[in-house]
């Protein structure tokens, strides 16, 4: 079970690379990245086909990221998550948040037994300065006791 401390540790470790950022404003990978950026999180896009997203330099691969990046938010399709997780481990990234709907059994197996702060089953938009529907969803989870403690 994910804890509030794990989430706080993830959000406090400096720049967060975001794998699966789309250039398409209609896709979740774009809207989530944009919202996190607008709320002030230091986010770095990872997209193999983009040089820049929302005015921020994009990296084509996890291995290209600057050495100070120790956190990764995964927004990829399930079939790409394992590869992204392997690249993150090779790069020495030890804070990994796999967004709901991006998790896959092979990716989770890859992380099993590793010294990684792993967050799964949680929506980052509900935990980083939530507003609107995410704030309401967080309140419901708190009321019903399913919010991480």
10-residue block means of pLDDT along the chain (149 residues)? 94 94 95 96 97 97 96 97 97 96 95 96 91 78 81
User: What is the predicted pLDDT for the residue at 145?
Assistant: 79
**Residue owning tokens 């949680």:** 122
Determine the Cα–Cα distance for residues 37 and 128; give it in Å rounded to an integer: 11
User: What is the predicted pLDDT for the residue at 48?
Assistant: 95
CATH number corresponding to 4-143: 3.40.50.720
Residues 6+ apart with CB under 8 A from 88: 62, 72, 96
Helix (H, G, I), strand (E, B) or coil at 1: coil
Measured in degrees and rounded to the nearest 5, phi and psi for residue 98 equal -100, 110
Q: What does the block give as tokens for 8?
A: 């706080």
H helical segments located in 1-149:
4-11, 28-38, 78-91, 105-111, 124-127, 132-143
Single pTM value for the model:
0.93
Q: Which run of H or E residues covers position 26? A: none
């Amino acid at each position: 079970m994910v804890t509030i401390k794990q989430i706080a540790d993830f959000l406090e470790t400096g720049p967060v690379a975001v794998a699966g950022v789309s250039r398409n404003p209609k896709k979740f990978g774009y809207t989530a990245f944009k919202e996190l950026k607008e709320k002030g999180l230091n986010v770095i896009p990872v997209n193999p086909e983009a040089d820049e997203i929302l005015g921020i330099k994009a990296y084509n691969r996890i291995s290209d990221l600057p050495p100070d990046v120790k956190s990764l938010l995964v927004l990829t399709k399930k079939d790409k998550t394992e590869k992204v997780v392997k690249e993150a481990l090779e790069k020495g990234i030890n804070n990994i948040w796999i967004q709901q709907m991006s998790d896959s059994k092979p990716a989770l197996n890859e992380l099993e037994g590793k010294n990684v702060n792993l967050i799964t089953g949680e929506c980052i938009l509900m935990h980083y300065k939530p507003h609107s529907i995410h704030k309401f969803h967080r309140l419901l989870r708190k009321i019903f006791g399913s919010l991480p403690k």
